Amino acid sequence: MNSITETLPVAIIGAGPVGLAAAAHLLKRGERPVVFELGESVASSVREWAHVRMFSPWKYNIDSAAKQLLEQQGWNAPDPEHLPTGEELIEDYLAPLAAHPCVASCLNFGCKVLAISRKGVDKVRSAGRNERAFLLRVEQNDIQQELPFRAVIDASGTWNQPNPMGSNGLQPIGEEQVRERIDYGIPDIRGSRRIDYQEATVLVVGSGHSSFTSVLDLLDLKKEFPKTKIIWAMRKQSLDTVFGGGVNDTLPARGEMGMKAKQAVKNGDVELITPLEIERVASHGDMQMKVLGTGPEGACEFIVDRAIVKTGFRPELSMLREIRVEIDGALESVRALAPMIDPNEHSCGSVPPHGARELAHPEKGFYIVGMKSYGRAPTFLLATGHEQVRSVVAEITGDHEAAAKVELRLPETGVCQLDSTPSCDQTMNQSPCCSETPKESVDFHCCTESEVADKNQKGDTCCE
């Protein structure tokens, strides 16, 4: 990389929990990142599920570098065992972090990253590629511009790209005509969307913890409005691992959700149809929707008022077309992660430690982190993203030793599909695999522009 490129900032795409953590780690190392956020505020995707209580407590949700920045401002960390809602995650952590002067100066809202490329070359050209700056084509207020960066961290997530309800990965035929009766996401059933669901026949599609949330919310509504009917459709041939590990789940709230959902099915409060392949939907009268597909006994159809679809997410990859990335053909995850997180093989909820090495692409200096790094795979936890960006930032800033030392311990679901799941040593060729993330206690301050320039000249850091 030439000296001109080395002085350029690092771009971060997305101002969610992982993107802000990346910014905090860059600031800690004396860098001045530039963060592009599509929404009009930080964590705009989290705001869409602000009413939902997380099943992971605060101790898994706060990044170490972000915590140090916040403590500079007199911030007190929440109770580490408390389960925050999405709103609390924002108000008690992410909003104060974004308001920190060092972070606030990095944020750009209402910015859509349209494409990433290399200055002066397309994807085909190899000679001198790594010495050229990245170019981000960004649109803000209907104005497009191209901006140079020396490295790019894509933490844009997957929330805005939900998987469709069709079992073949496509929207079922006819969905466009009944789209207003379908909710993708986690609607606020007990709050702002209550009137849409009370005394309605509701189809919930999906087998993950987000679908548990909607089913349990509907059950609460049903206690007050007994005519509310819940139909729960899954694609699973087997329910062995669907409801989780119960008391064996190391996140008790997650295990409890599964047990409550299982009991509701057993009691007959929820009609479970599995496996169900949804093929078509169509209007039925003025306010209802007909669902057609293949169920456990062959062709079936039924009528509902609304549907809630929680079949996972998929990454938006079109903006990466002009750079060289390695994406798994099935999961659309970072390729090196696929064997560790493939839901066909693993359901434990844990993943071997991984960082810059596993997240690297042929395009040197480009990294996908956070939920987007998992592609279509589920079970991502914030603690994973925090360790990812710690390692990636260390690599970008030249601290290869810190980048290589990745440690991650995640709470397991209590269920595993394979008895012969490879050990972390086998998978990653490193040990130990489940030690605690080391505590970082070094104080730091935010570099001014003159300090950054001086640092670049001397090759040292101003944040120790």
Burial class (CB within 10 angstroms; exposed 0-12, middle 13-18, buried 19+) of 43 = buried
State the pLDDT at residue 87. 97
Backbone angles phi, psi at 444, to 5 degrees: -150, 160
Q: At a CB cut-off of 8 Å and minimum separation 6, what does 315 contact?
A: 158, 161, 332, 333, 368, 372, 375, 376
Domain count, the chain: 2
Place of tokens 């960004």: 138
In this predicted model, what pLDDT tens digit does every residue of 66-83 receive, in sequence order? 999 999 999 999 999 999
Q: How far apart are CA 279 and CA 291, in angstroms?
A: 8
**CATH code where residue 117 lies:** 3.50.50.60
| Averaged pLDDT, 223-230 | 96
Inside any domain, residue 58: yes
Domain end: 309, 325, 357, which one? 309
Pair (133, 231) in one structural domain: no
Maximum pairwise Cα distance, the chain: 73
389 shares a domain with 296: no
Residue 353 sits in the same domain as residue 445: yes
Bridge partners for 117 per DSSP: 135
| Residue 9 and residue 131 in one domain | yes
Q: What are phi and psi of 198, to 5 degrees?
A: -65, 130
Residue 169 in domain: no
pTM, rounded to two decimals: 0.85
The answer on 327 and 284 residing in a single domain is no
Domain boundary among 309, 342, 360: 309
Residues 407, 303 within the same domain: no
303 and 352: one domain? Answer: no
Same domain, 346 and 449: yes
- Whether 123 is covered by a domain: the verdict is yes
- Quick one: 145 and 187 in the same domain? no
Number of neighbouring beta carbons within 10 Å of residue 77: 13
Average pLDDT along the chain: 86
13-39 pLDDT tens trace: 999 999 999 999 999 999 999 999 999
407 assigned to some structural domain: yes
User: Between residues 366 and 463, which one has the greater pLDDT?
Assistant: 366
Domain assignment present for 84: yes
HEC string for 286-299? CCEEEEEEEECCEE
Structural domain range at position 328: 3-160+313-458
Which of 154, 160, 124, 109 lies closest to 136, judged by CA?
A: 154
Residues 366 and 447 in one domain: yes
Instruction: Supply the pLDDT for residue 72.
Output: 93
Q: Per-residue pLDDT for 203 more than 80?
A: yes
Among 309, 337, 356, residue at a domain's last position: 309
- Is there a domain that residue 113 lies in? yes
Is residue 443 assigned to a domain?
Answer: yes
Band (pLDDT 50/70/90 cuts) for residue 246 is: low
pLDDT digits (tens, 9 = 90+) for 150-175: 999 999 999 999 999 998 999 999 99
Lowest mean pLDDT among 22-36, 185-199, 265-279, 303-317: 265-279
